[in-house]
Structure 1
């Protein structure tokens, strides 16, 4: 199993510069990432804000020199305060790859969070931040293999990039998603979810829907209907969820070396 990034706070880096085009290719277990792209900071301008849940919102950024990304990749975002203090965070990219020159990030407001707090309380269209990426090939999905996606809370963000990519390209490769949220009100992207998605609610649920944690009864049927060559499983969420979901997958018969994990917390 492979795991994804954490969070950092650090000092200023190099001045923004347009990166060279990304070079990437699919090999078992990872996608190659251009180091020049991954290390070059560039300016991104906030162009729109869309509320997803009471605690989560999507922020649309114009990045003129964005080199493109694959679903599941993330970026590093940098904010610099007037006094020179710098905060950096890793954020998954929510949007599907396209040529619009924009990317979207969906952020939960974290209690006492410096960066998420700024986005949710102070950020306005026209504000600028710095970004570098895309980063990491471990969690990327090129769209060339059947994908089974398991997420909880804001862990659905990189998975939704995969779903959007699947829809936008009209891909025929099988894709299924199982997501967990505390309630229907806190289910991120609820308006966009379709037949490929099953939702599990842990605290309150719509009438007729059971309440409870993601369990073997949710995962086993998905493994039973796996396509001929099996699933590539992508798991994203908190440390606790990642461990729980990966154990469910293994117990249901998913090969350990075909589970990719992106965790936070």
Structure 2
């Protein structure tokens, strides 16, 4: 049974135990968790993570899933934001063995069925859903269905850069040259060739990047109704 054949179910709060924790960069934390009563997910979906203080104060944030549905653990890559209640806790306080409240998977609009030819145009930690899609395509034996253009200031600041490069993703760096490509944001002339045969495009990143990505796709002649945009940023 493939993930596109799984009927959606109402999600409820459950618990997840941190099995692995890594700090790939000074501003990110990678968590791999065992989730109780876990539901299969589509690549592109996310979970809510909820923290509860002793005085019953509650904070929750949404984080995209990096793992594919067959991975025994659910993987998150979280950007540590200055003053971020949840992200700072996950990066600086949470430890292996800790239990967190989770609800998911959530989101059908920004999800991929692993059978429709797709392009991911992603920036910074917005690469996370593209990583899930890449892993799902590889596990399904259909890597040709997905193209990825990932953007960051430098390769060191791009999460999963090596994994994406091995999967054939195109990388665009805005601050340094890469393989003869001058530094700078991607252009419509770089995006257009990647759209041949593509039926749906996913854009994920900061609000500024999301605007750029959507504009590039439309400038390249891609139908706006086939563009799915997810943006993130600090939450007040």
| TM-score above 0.5 | yes
| TM-align CA RMSD | 1.9
Matched residue, 2:9 = 34
1:232 aligns with 2:207: no
Provide the residue aligned with 2:220 in structure 1: 252
Report the CA distance between 1:52 and its aligned residue: 2.8
Contact 1:184 1:205 survives alignment (8 Å): no
Tell me by how many angstroms 1:34 deviates: 2.0
The alignment status of 1:141 with 2:112, answered yes or no, reads yes
The answer as to whether partners of 2:66 and 2:131 remain within 8 angstroms in 1 is yes
Equivalent in the alignment of 2:186: 214
CA distance in 2, matches of 1:65, 1:191: 32
| 3-state DSSP of counterpart to 1:156 | helix
CA distance in 1, matches of 2:16, 2:35: 5
Bigger RCO (CA 8 Å, 6+ sep) = 1
Q: State how far apart, in whole Å, the 2-side matches of 1:61 and 1:256 are.
A: 36
1:83 aligned partner: 55
Q: Any conservation in 2 of the 1:71–1:158 contact (CA below 8 Å)?
A: yes
Equivalent position of 1:97 in the other structure: 69
Counterpart in the other structure of 1:123:
94
Q: Which residue matches 1:196?
A: 168
Note closer, same or farther for the CA distance 1:245–1:172 as it changes in structure 2 (3 Å cut).
closer
Pick one of 226, 242, 247 that aligns with 2:210.
242
Counterpart-to-counterpart distance in 2, 1:205 and 1:135: 37
Stretches of structure 2 that go unaligned for 5 or more consecutive residues are: none
Unaligned regions of 5+ residues in structure 1, if any?
1-23
Moved more, 157-166 or 196-205: 196-205
Query: Could you state the TM-score of these two structures normalised by the residue count of structure 1?
Result: 0.81
Q: 2:27 aligns with which of 34, 47, 55?
A: 55
Map Cα deviations across residues 125-153 of structure 1 (whole Å, 9 max, x no partner). 01111001111100110101001000001
